[in-house]
Structure 1
Amino acid sequence: MPADTPLPMLGGLSAADFLGQYWQRKPLLIRGAFPDIESPLSPDELAGLACEEGIEARLVEEHGRDAKGNPKPWQVSHGPFGEATFARLPESDWTLLVQAVDHYVPAVADLLEAFSFLPRWRLDDIMISYAPPGGSVGPHVDQYDVFLLQASGQRRWQLGGAVDEDAPIIDGIDLRILEHFEVEPDQDWVLEPGDMLYLPPGHAHHGVSQSDDCMTLSVGFRALSADESVTSFADYMGETLPASLRYSDAGMTPPTDPGELNDEALERMRRLILDTLDDPAQLAQWFGRAMTQPKYVDQLVPQEEPTPVEELSAELEAGGYLERTLGSRFAWRVLDDNQATLFVDGDGLACAPGLARALASQAPIDAELLAYPGAATLLAGLLDRGSLSWPTDDMEDDA
């Protein structure tokens, strides 16, 4: 789709207009972004997910109690939960948050295709929240881009503008709730089903449920912090460097003071570090691995036995097809006319550019891909590691 095509989900803005005017710059309210939306999960189904082992879920109560039973303004509990937890909850002022629902529910994962005007490798996950009237997680700031899509019920959103990173937060709770929150003029809206609010990083916001069936989908985007990036890239490069590459000071002049770290020594060390790290090819290989690192590694279930390549080819040629495992992450980068790197779940695999591009898209994984050299072996390896899977007859659209 051309970048200048108006998109209804962006309120008639094109992808180019949205990226140029709003992305990582300022919020955007979009009425009727998904006019025909139906919540892909019921509150009971979301609660059922929150009761399962291995699924990241939180329960936020605005009027909670500490370990000694004393009242406190906020309380956060982490799943998995039991039925007794939900049975004791009041009729208002609490929120259930379930992370990465797109990793478990195909109907939720399908929503990500609507955001294909953004790099697929930037997508993180879809969190879904349920709240009765008054449910909230307090005014806070996120350090990532997010689209807040109202799936059912109503939620009131108030925005407080850009906030400094060192803004004071309330101590003693497992939430980064701001101590001070002031609503900006004309930044106070009630979202109905199908409405969507985009928020760039660093903007204070406060959402409060206005109904007893408030379900909100949060489509979040991953962005490595500077400290994560430096540490991760240095570790990656360190695994490739020979032990013989060391600090060197051949030809140095006699030091004025043998105990001083002089400017010349520091410059030699600086050059060693910068020259070592300034490698665009290695940076691309690291970045692809870093941005496809799975959110939950234990979701990828390897095959117990290696897949025979001939059997896989025969199955595809007979009309079978493979699916990308929910939660798996794919990206690709071309190296030359004949070779590319397919990045899958934190790894980098060499293959033909056309094959890499197809696997990193939503194209069918069927017999047509076998035309690429080495495709059957690559697909078998991805199946064995759990990044691909055969479709199952009993796969449900809900949990």
Structure 2
Amino acid sequence: MDLQNFDIDQFLREYWQKKPLLIRNAFRDWQNPLEPDELAGLACEEEIESRLICQTESGWEMEQGPLAEERLSGLHESHWTLLVQAVDHHVPAVADLIAPFRFIPNWRIDDVMVSLAADQGGVGPHFDQYDVFLIQGLGRRRWQIGGHCDADTLLLPHEDLKLLAEFEATEEWVLEPGDMLYVPPGIAHNGVAVGSDCMTYSVGFRAPSRADLLGHYVDDVLDGIPDDELYRDPDLKAQANAGEILPEALAGLQQMVLESLSDPAHFARWFGTFNSTPKYPDMDWRPEVPVTPEELRAAITAQLPLSRNPASRLAFIATGADALMLFADGVCFDCIGETAALAKALCADDRLSLDVEVAGNAAAIDLLTQLSNNGCIAFDSGD
């Protein structure tokens, strides 16, 4: 599915993380990839994250999934929204919606959330901390855009929802199927269904916070520091007031901390592992029967297409001219030569065919075997 009426360079230069952008008829030959009943079925599944948000006379109410079929079939005709996270992990046609946005690095991609709303359904005025492309899939939705929000913005008191206490729209549009609205982080917005069976696909992008980076990286660094690395001051001199912590002592202490955090190679390996950790690590995508190297060689020789699991996160960091670290669902693989080229291809495309020569490369087969048995990739059966 290709974008149209959309200039990538202009978008990145003028809109990305700067201001909203409405794109009418954003896709060629738009077809809604998921039916409302199919989304409702996903919301009933135990392992899939979902929420039901209803606006009642007493205020906003939220229910966490999984939701019973009877609950969904008994909903009123208006003022409710069903939200299902990471639908791209389970529905290939929804995963295909990510492809047009590959001009943004894969490591920034979060997931595709899908919402189904009855007439007047919405989640209330709010703002997000991430970039999002809101694609109207079915029905119509009125979107209102407000001003910039931050940690000091006043919110309504609510245990589950972060709704704005005050919202003043500065722009407003009604989106039709195939239209798309980009909303950068921190911009207030409010979407309300106009009519029934309103489906919106939210292609969301993640960005690690400073607190997350520092907290998790420090934990990783601490795991590798021996207990006997203590502060030393062999050049200590007598000081006038023993109660003072001198600048040179502070500088030495701070240097101990900074030296521990300033190894670029360590940070690169840690970040790739950290960032590629699956969104839902408890979900087991491994094959019931382990794949053997012989089976992989046969699949490559037969030119069967190879597909990447939409739920898997793959990325690489170059470490040399023909060397790299491949990160796949929180596991790091050091690759060189032809195996590095293979790793790049796996990161670049969701689906590809491998050259038959790969079948004779022991290192490549070893990598493919591990990725297959970790549930990251799979060859089509050929049936």
Q: Say whether 1:132 aligns with 2:126.
A: no
Per-residue CA deviations over 1:252-293 (Å, capped at 9, x if unaligned) read 222433344333222111111112211222222122122211
2:23 equivalent in structure 1: 30
Alpha-carbon distance in 1 for matches of 2:357, 2:307: 14
TM-score, length-scaled by structure 1: 0.89
In the TM superposition, what is the alpha-carbon distance from 1:320 to its structure 2 partner? Answer: 3.1
1 CA distance for matches of 2:381 and 2:359?
Answer: 22
Match of 2:144 in 1: 158
Distance 1:372 1:10, change over 3 A: farther
Larger deviation: 359-368 or 322-331?
359-368
Q: Map Cα deviations across residues 162-188 of structure 1 (whole Å, 9 max, x no partner).
A: 11222111113311000000111xx11
Of 153-162 and 314-323, deviating more is 314-323
Question: Which residue, out of 276, 291, 300, partners 1:292?
Answer: 276
Query: Does 1:11 pair with 2:2?
Result: no
Q: Deviations over 1:39-71 (max 9, x none)?
A: 1111111000000111000000011xxxxxxx6
Structure 1 partner of 2:363:
374
| 2:347 aligned with 1:354 | no
Does the alignment pair 1:167 with 2:153?
Answer: yes
| CA shift digits 1:300-348 (9 cap, x unpaired) | 3334665432332233223334321120011111111232111111121
- Residues 347 and 152 (structure 1), Cα distance of their counterparts in 2 relative to 1, 3 Å cut: same
Of the three residues 136, 141, 163, the one matched with 1:177 is 163
Q: Deviations over 1:64-121 (max 9, x none)?
A: xxxxxxx630100011111111132110000000000000000011111111111112
8 Å contact from structure 2 (residues 315, 347) kept in 1:
yes
Q: CA RMSD in A?
A: 2.1
CA distance in 2, matches of 1:393, 1:293: 30
In structure 2, C-alpha distance between the alignment counterparts of 1:36 and 1:202, rounded to whole Å: 32
More moved, 346-355 vs 117-126 = 346-355
Distance 1:224 1:267 in 2: 29
User: In the alignment, does 2:304 pair up with 1:313?
Assistant: no
Count how many residue pairs are aligned between Structure 1 and Structure 2: 378
- The one-letter code of the counterpart of 2:321 is D
Q: Distance in 2 between matches of 1:393 and 1:371?
A: 21
2:378 is the alignment partner of 1:389: yes
Q: Give the C-alpha shift of residue 392 in structure 1.
A: 5.4
Q: 1:73 and 1:300, CA in 2 relative to 1: closer, same or farther beyond 3 A?
A: same
1:197–1:271: structure 2 CA closer, same or farther, 3 Å change rule?
same
CA contact (8 A) 1:153 1:215 kept: yes
Unaligned runs of 5+ in 2: none
TM-score scaled by length of structure 2: 0.93
Counterparts of 1:97-136 in structure 2, within 5 Å, are 97-136=83-122
Gaps of 5+ in 1: 1-6, 64-70, 395-399
Q: How does 1:257-276 map to 2 (within 5 A)?
A: 257-276=241-260
Gap change, CA 1:142 and 1:393, over 3 Å in 2: farther
Q: Find the aligned partners of 1:305 and 1:44 in 2 and give their Cα distance.
A: 32
| Kept in 1: contact 2:110–2:205 (CA 8 A) | yes
Distance 1:80 1:150 in 2: 25
Deviation, 1:393, is: 7.6
Q: Partner of 1:94 in structure 2?
A: 80
Mapped contact 1:160–1:204 kept (Cα < 8 A): yes
Deviates more, 1:241-250 or 1:160-169: 241-250
Asked whether the 8 Å contact 2:4–2:25 carries over to 1, the reply is no
Q: For 1:59, which of 47, 52, 71 is the aligned residue? A: 52
Counterpart secondary structure, 1:234: helix
Structure 2 residue identity aligned to 1:228: D
User: In structure 2, do the counterparts of structure 1 residues 172 and 306 end up closer, same or farther at CA, with 3 Å as the change threshold?
Assistant: same
Contact 1:161 1:204 in 2 (8 A): yes
Secondary structure of 1:341 counterpart: strand
Percent identity over the alignment is 45
- Pick which of 41-50 and 359-368 moved more: 359-368
Q: 2:67 maps to which residue?
A: 81
